[in-house]
Amino acid sequence: MSTVAMMVFLPALVFAKIVSNIDNSDIKEIGTIALEAVFVIIIQGLLTFLFGVLAGCPKNWYGGLLSCGMFANISDIPIAYLQSMESSNMIPNVDKGVSYICIYLCMQIIAQFNLGGFKLIELDFRNEIKKRNGDTEASQSIKSNENVASHSSDATQTEKANGGSGSDSQDHDPNNFKVEDNSDLGSESPMSLLSLNTEESHSIAEPASLNYTTSARQRKDTQLSRHPSIAASLFDNNLQSAPAENMKDVVRTYSKYNQLVEDEMAKAQESESFKAKPKINMTRIISGIKGHGKAMISLIITSTLKPMSISLIFSITVSMIPWVKALFVTTHQAHLSSAPDGMPPLSFIMDFASYVGNAQVPLGLILLGGTIGRLQVNNMNAKIWKVPILVTIFKLCIFPVIGCAVNSKFSKDGLFYNDDVLYFVSNINYCLPPATALLYLTAIYIPPDQDDAFQMDMLALVYIAHYMLLVVCLPFVTSYTVKVSLGY
């Protein structure tokens, strides 16, 4: 359902709200949103990191700490909060406010995915991946030596049994042995079995695609057969007998740890090959730089081709060209001949986008609640509690004060252009918890067979602290904005 929300409902919501409520006269408001988004991502990220370090945050969670400060839950919560006030007529033009939030969200997606911000979490697991890589290489070396010794022993015994005759030596040559190993048919790890769903459905954090094969389907069937209670409950349409999912299930579903270890092994081998040649080869250096450049360009392109990014680009393009916008909605800037029903020619697309997009907010909140319900803390030192507590106090108590002061200055300078809903949205965006996507991005780097992970425990504490304090802080910021900043 999270995949459907991200790939279908949210792009439809973005298209419906932006095309309906934004036009080329709002370009200055979009500029203000971009400025605010950059300020929130950079300043809040740096200050959150500073507070976390002062609280004694371990070094192996620096990337997660910085991510918690930079990337907020900037979609479902503010949209739901804004739409809940629509019936009160307190804030005018709520739909336009939702379109502003969509632009804020797209700015964050650009920073988190298009520009590679999700890689910050990888820094916390770099040493663990390298250590596992070294253990894997050593294990493979031992197994290789054992296999060579075993094959040589088998060949010697066979040769003795045949009387040492040379005429049959070719038939018993160890190099000609064909070993059929079917031992892996029933021993797939949860990672390899569940990666089908991971790589296909959640490719926003990993651009690689996966081709389904017959063996993959067989492995998936094997996984179901090993859990008859789950399989039976699925087929009987009764999930009451199935065990409740927790963070271990999230890790098993999203983990790509084994793949990361293999990639690290390939990089280590390439590095050793480079060190073996003492002379500096400028061609290889230039080639390496070009390779990194191509990888970055590929990341930007693949992220831009995601439904969310395509929807944003297409929506803004349509809304900025009056005669194109007139194809979808009625606008005073251009006029086109209506369809037989008296509506714009492509109004049926807007009807479909609005109908589908309306499911995003309630579904997003349900998924958010389900994610929070999975949170659990396994092994955590009591001294670590002060890190999430201090970070939460800064993000929900101190930073909103900074944000309201900055927005007050923006308002005096005329950067809100007397648009109350823009002022309102900008203020509440300073008082939001971290994005829930951080949980799934962290799960990517955790071994699927690991019972607990320090980084996941830290995130769980941060989320628990944020949502406990959010019920007080966000209404306070909202009330202050309505009563003091907007003067209602």
Residue 329 CB: number of other CB atoms within 10 A? 18
Q: Residue 414, SS3?
A: coil
Whole-angstrom distance, CA of residue 460 vs CA of residue 454? 10
Q: Which tokens hold the place of 323?
A: 């005669």
- Where would I find the H helices in 110-171? 120-123, 126-161
Exposed / middle / buried, residue 2 (Cβ in 10 Å: 0-12, 13-18, 19+): middle
Residue 144 CB: number of other CB atoms within 10 A? 10
Mark the ranges of the chain whose per-residue pLDDT is less than 50.
138, 160-235
Q: Which tokens hold the place of 410?
A: 């923006």
Q: What is the pLDDT of residue 444?
A: 82
Q: Which tokens hold the place of 153?
A: 């022993």
Q: What is the pLDDT of residue 47?
A: 95
Residues 6+ apart with CB under 8 A from 365: 76, 77, 80
H-run or E-run covering 10: helix 10-21
Beta bridge partners of 72: 434
Beta bridge partners of 286: none
Residues 6+ apart with CB under 8 A from 41: 70, 71, 107, 108, 111
CA atoms within 13 A on the CB side of 91: 26
Using alpha carbons, select from 353, 474, 486 the residue that is nearest to residue 80. Answer: 474
Whole-angstrom distance, CA of residue 340 vs CA of residue 317? 26
Q: Residue 434, SS3?
A: strand
Residues 6+ apart with CB under 8 A from 432: 72, 73, 74, 77, 78, 474
- Where would I find the H helices in 227-305? 228-235, 247-254, 257-275, 282-304
Using alpha carbons, select from 356, 320, 362, 364 the residue that is nearest to residue 11. Answer: 356
Whole-angstrom distance, CA of residue 411 vs CA of residue 469? 28
Whole-angstrom distance, CA of residue 439 vs CA of residue 150? 45
Beta bridge partners of 13: none
Phi-psi region of 227 (alpha: psi -120 to 50; beta: other; left: phi over 0): beta
Torsion of CA 351, 353, 358, 361, to 10 degrees: -170
Dihedral sign from CA coordinates of 373, 473, 424, 81: positive
Residue 217 CB: number of other CB atoms within 10 A? 11
Type of residue numbered 142: I
Over residues 141-200, the pLDDT tens digits come to: 555 555 555 555 555 555 544 444 443 434 444 334 333 333 333 333 333 323 333 333
Whole-angstrom distance, CA of residue 382 vs CA of residue 364? 33
Type of residue numbered 327: L
Whole-angstrom distance, CA of residue 148 vs CA of residue 418? 78
Over residues 61-108, the pLDDT tens digits come to: 999 999 999 999 888 889 888 888 877 777 888 889 999 998 998 889
Whole-angstrom distance, CA of residue 344 vs CA of residue 421? 28
Type of residue numbered 463: Y
- Chain center to CA of 436: 8
Q: What are phi and psi of 338, to 5 degrees?
A: -80, 160
Over residues 224-261, the pLDDT tens digits come to: 444 444 444 444 555 555 566 666 666 766 666 666 66
**Polymer length in residues for the chain:** 488
Using alpha carbons, select from 253, 262, 265 the residue that is nearest to residue 201. Answer: 253
Q: What is the pLDDT of residue 244?
A: 61
Residues 6+ apart with CB under 8 A from 13: 98, 102, 353, 356, 357, 358, 360, 361
Q: Which tokens hold the place of 475?
A: 């209404």
Whole-angstrom distance, CA of residue 430 vs CA of residue 72? 9
